[in-house]
Amino acid sequence: MSSSKKKTRLPLYVQVSELLHREIAAGQWVPGERLPTESQLAQDLDVAVGTLRKALTVLEEDGLLERRQGSGTYVRKPPEGGAVYQFFRLELLNGGGMPRAVTQSVALLKSTDVAKQFGKAGNPDKQYWRIRRLRYLNQTPVAAEEIWFDGRHAEQLSVEDMHESLYVHYREEFDFWMTHVTDEVSCQEAPEWACQLLNTPVPTTLGWISRQAWANNGRIEEYSQTWFDPLQSRYVARLS
Amino acid sequence: MSSSKKKTRLPLYVQVSELLHREIAAGQWVPGERLPTESQLAQDLDVAVGTLRKALTVLEEDGLLERRQGSGTYVRKPPEGGAVYQFFRLELLNGGGMPRAVTQSVALLKSTDVAKQFGKAGNPDKQYWRIRRLRYLNQTPVAAEEIWFDGRHAEQLSVEDMHESLYVHYREEFDFWMTHVTDEVSCQEAPEWACQLLNTPVPTTLGWISRQAWANNGRIEEYSQTWFDPLQSRYVARLS
DNA sequence: AGGAATTTGTGCGTATGTATC
DNA sequence: AGATACATACGCACAAATTCC
């Protein structure tokens, strides 16, 4: 009844998964690298193979690892091909469409607004990179996107040296990558720059996505907002 | 290379989970009922306990079962309390809010539009129930909702005998329940009836959700669209 | 091409821990 | 306090996929 603090320690497989998570975040193994075999890891950590496998399952569900039967267990890296767009949720009205992004501007700015979005009682003196991009599905411009991340991640940043997938850029240049996001979807009057990019009248009410993205280091590393043209695309979510 | 049809049968635990899925859908155990113990089930089906547990894990992840340590494994039913709103994705702008629904109208109609949404090369003579409701979060009206489902599920249907949670109504009267949904989110000019309910000018562009809902029998049993006021609420999705 | 070695996936059985009744 | 039921943990054997020679 009186339910005092549970002193019971966490299950062993949880302890193991958290240990491995820390080691991966610390760079013990880098993205793409293969981990030791299950039996080897189990032996090193002095746990049963079944216990280790359950720990790996947790990390796999968290998107941190990828297991291939007959091959090994690998630290996951954002794939090179089409699956770069893991978290891209816009689709053409008749479904699908290949995403592309064209960067419009890159700037290092102070913004208390964004600082608040990052939590951490936003320091108004902090600087953030602001990227503005035009999004395409196939050949159709469908959305204007504004992305913010911590100014300390890069000294210099220009349109030329940005990978088309920002998430790939993060991994290759900043040594972290995104594991999950929270989206809030609504509609808003779009700012002038977005209307111009999308070639709509000013002002126009467009679909609007506000996103926070969590990286494998556990922090929120990106905040973005996207205005999309409802005549061209929709936001799609599958829930269970 | 030439990759012919893989004749390898499915893993045993998948077979078991599909067997149990069929039996539950067939009413062998009804929502809320407790299944036999793991060791009993394993014995009945002549598989190891570990294998059975893996099968139950699949069904649990599919939202069909609920396991309680020390108590048993239960067929999940839409809970009575706040979690009735399992698939409700609207939140107040500052987060959260308790959902309520007030039914405005109930009608049995033909609709080729809706028939198409249900797939199945919609028969234009089929009839569908159309429910229109006003949605609240706390005391604030936030959305107008239009729901369609197969006309054969009920002979009669009136505002009075509808449960506030339609999904509970489905379970208690129609003997199925929803396991997952697909939402498409965008914005649209709202129809007149929706604007009147939400007390906005006519016409107004509002947030718009188009949903298909799958039941535990594997079929799409509901199609709905919702217009929400972006000044009051937002659609929220968490993705990984 | 093909077989051996390696590595993860599946399945079984048992013992013990923990929550519930 | 005791019985019951799910959760965790261990260990082993074999299957399936991949890799290496």
* pLDDT tens digits, A108-146: 999 888 888 776 666 677 899 999 999 999 999 999 999
pLDDT reported for residue B81: 43
Give the minimum alpha-carbon distance from B239 to chain A in angstroms, rounded to a whole number.
5
Closest CA relative to residue A90, chosen from A206, A221, A214: A206
Most confident of A139-148, A215-224, B106-115: A139-148
User: From the list B180, B234, B240, which residue is nearest A184 (CB)?
Assistant: B234
Whether B103 has a pLDDT exceeding 60, the answer reads: yes
Give the integer Cα–Cα distance in Å for B60 and B68: 11
The pTM assigned to this predicted structure is: 0.78
Q: Which DSSP category does B36 fall into?
A: P
Beta-carbon separation of B180 and A63 below 8 A: no
pLDDT tens-place string over residues B5-57 = 445 678 999 999 999 998 988 888 988 899 999 999 999 999 999 999 999 99
User: Chain B partners of A185 at a C-beta cutoff of 8 Å?
Assistant: 185, 207, 234-237
Q: Which tokens go with A85?
A: 């767009």
pLDDT band at A151 (very low <50, low <70, confident <90, very high): very high
Are the C-beta atoms of residues B208 and B226 closer than 8 Å to each other? yes
Give the integer Cα–Cα distance in Å for B122 and B166: 23
Q: Work out the percent of chain B whose per-residue pLDDT is above 90.
A: 60
Going B162 to B33 to B47 to A12, the CA torsion angle's sign is positive
pLDDT reported for residue B6: 44
Helices of type H across chain A: 12-25, 38-45, 49-61, 112-117, 166-169, 192-198
User: From the list B182, B205, B239, which residue is nearest A181 (CB)?
Assistant: B239
Task: Verify if strand C has an atom below 7 Å from the CB of A39.
Answer: yes
Whether A196 has a pLDDT exceeding 50, the answer reads: yes
Protein residues bordering strand D (Cβ below 7 A): A 11-14, 47-51, 54, 68-71; B 6, 8, 35, 37-39, 50, 53, 56, 67-73
Whole-number Cα distances in Å, A196 to A129, A144, A190, A206? 22, 9, 10, 13
Name B92's bridge partners: B233
Give the integer Cα–Cα distance in Å for A101 and A103: 6
**B39 closest-nt by C1' vs CA:** D5
pLDDT reported for residue B10: 87
Whether B221 has a pLDDT exceeding 80, the answer reads: yes
Q: A152 CA to D11 C1', in Å?
A: 50
- Residues 6 or more apart whose Cβ sits within 8 Å of residue A60: A66, A67
Q: Which residue has the higher pLDDT, B132 or B78?
A: B132
Ordered domains of chain B (ranges, CATH): 12-75 (1.10.10.10), 87-235 (3.40.1410.10)
Within 13 A of A62's CA, how many CA atoms are on the CB side?
21
Beta-carbon separation of A239 and B183 below 8 A: yes
Q: B1 CA to D14 C1', in Å?
A: 26
The average pLDDT across A207-219 equals 88
The average pLDDT across A188-206 equals 95
The average pLDDT across B68-72 equals 94
Region of B46 please: left (phi>0), alpha (psi -120 to 50) or beta.
left
Q: Work out the percent of chain A whose per-residue pLDDT is above 90.
A: 61
Distance of CA A80 to the CA centre of its chain: 15
The average pLDDT across A201-229 equals 92
Are the C-beta atoms of residues A178 and A87 closer than 8 Å to each other? yes
pLDDT reported for residue B102: 94
Task: Verify if strand C has an atom below 7 Å from the CB of B19.
Answer: no
pLDDT reported for residue A1: 35
The average pLDDT across B131-146 equals 96
pLDDT reported for residue A83: 52
**Which residues in window 31-60 of B are less than 7 A from strand C by Cβ?**
47-51, 54
pLDDT band at B112 (very low <50, low <70, confident <90, very high): confident
